[in-house]
Amino acid sequence: MKLVRFGAPGEEKPGLIDGNGAIRDLSSVVKDIDGSALSKSGLDKIRSVSVDDLPVVQGSVRLGSCVTGVGNFIAVGLNYADHAAESGMPVPAEPVLFNKAPSCIVGPDDTVLIPPGSEKTDWEVELAIVIGERASYVSEADALNYVAGYCVCNDVSERAYQLERGGGQWAKGKGCPTFGPLGPWMVTKDEIEDVQNLAMTLSVNGQTMQNGSTRTMVFQVPFLVSHISQFMTLMPGDVITTGTPPGVGMGQKPPRYLKPGDSIRVEIQGLGVQNQRVAAT
């Protein structure tokens, strides 16, 4: 299934994408695409409904973040060896973890806002994992049993805040408003044949900047879910964004950063496309 949230900011309704690409309204089945809907029982409830009986959403609608009520928005740093190299940092012996503020989450096509005074706002295409069951101290072998599905994340980052403020404070550069576009939809894990073999691309103003694949991740999805669950309890609806391949603005020669008026296109094979415009705050 491909689950979406549609409507004006703060007024989104739950939906799914049918076989023809139309949005079907799930409001009569679940309250929202949140932790309760993403649990095994919640997904089974959605699957039990005939898609043809759900109302078709007419016309063009805004898509919100594909999941709401996110408690933990966890990010993994330097999870692609070639990205670590372009960042001038070693490949870590175990995952680098930091938090993105859940308040930075927006829809896949919402405007990305450059913070006041920022000169180093950057882009990162990333695979995001959406948790479906409470996970605490889970094994790598069992980890996928706790995953509801996957979505696209643009891990927007302000590099000066991240690396130059207070000796390096990654959370400072990762949680600004609009720095977490998620979607367009969450794809349940049964629809993804091999999550470790998905093409990933990001372009700025039509120029391809990132062109990678999840197969080159240093730490793969089952390991990440298991590893993170050793340090915190993951809850249904939590999101883990898993790192980016090379091609970020910081790694360009000379570095290139986002500016008002830029357009960003973010795509992961099987998970959909995001399109954002950049504006000043």
SS3 state of residue 106: strand
Segment 91-97 shows an average pLDDT of: 91
- Beta-bridge partners for 203: 208, 265
Q: pLDDT value at position 67?
A: 98
- d(CA 233, CA 231) in angstroms, rounded, equals 7
Q: Which residues contact 225 (CB under 8 A, 6 or more apart)?
A: 129, 131, 135, 138, 143, 144, 146, 147, 234, 240
pLDDT band at 258 (very low <50, low <70, confident <90, very high): very high
- d(CA 86, CA 248) in angstroms, rounded, equals 9
The runs of H, that is alpha helices, within 99-201 are: 159-164
pLDDT digits (tens, 9 = 90+) for 43-58: 999 999 999 999 999 9
Just give the CATH number of 73-280: 3.90.850.10
pLDDT digits (tens, 9 = 90+) for 132-187: 999 999 999 999 999 999 999 999 999 999 999 887 778 999 999 999 999 999 99
- d(CA 113, CA 181) in angstroms, rounded, equals 11
Residue 42 belongs to what H/E stretch? helix 40-47
- d(CA 126, CA 26) in angstroms, rounded, equals 27
- d(CA 139, CA 118) in angstroms, rounded, equals 41
152 residue type, one letter: V
SS3 state of residue 172: helix
DSSP state of 141: T
Q: pLDDT value at position 92?
A: 87
Strand bridging mode 105-106 / 180-181: parallel
pLDDT band at 117 (very low <50, low <70, confident <90, very high): very high
Q: Are 166 and 137 within 8 A, CB to CB?
A: no
260 residue type, one letter: P
Note if the pTM is more than 0.85. Answer: yes
- Beta-bridge partners for 238: none
pLDDT band at 208 (very low <50, low <70, confident <90, very high): very high
Residue 83 belongs to what H/E stretch? helix 81-86
Structural domain boundaries of the chain?
Answer: 2-53, 73-280
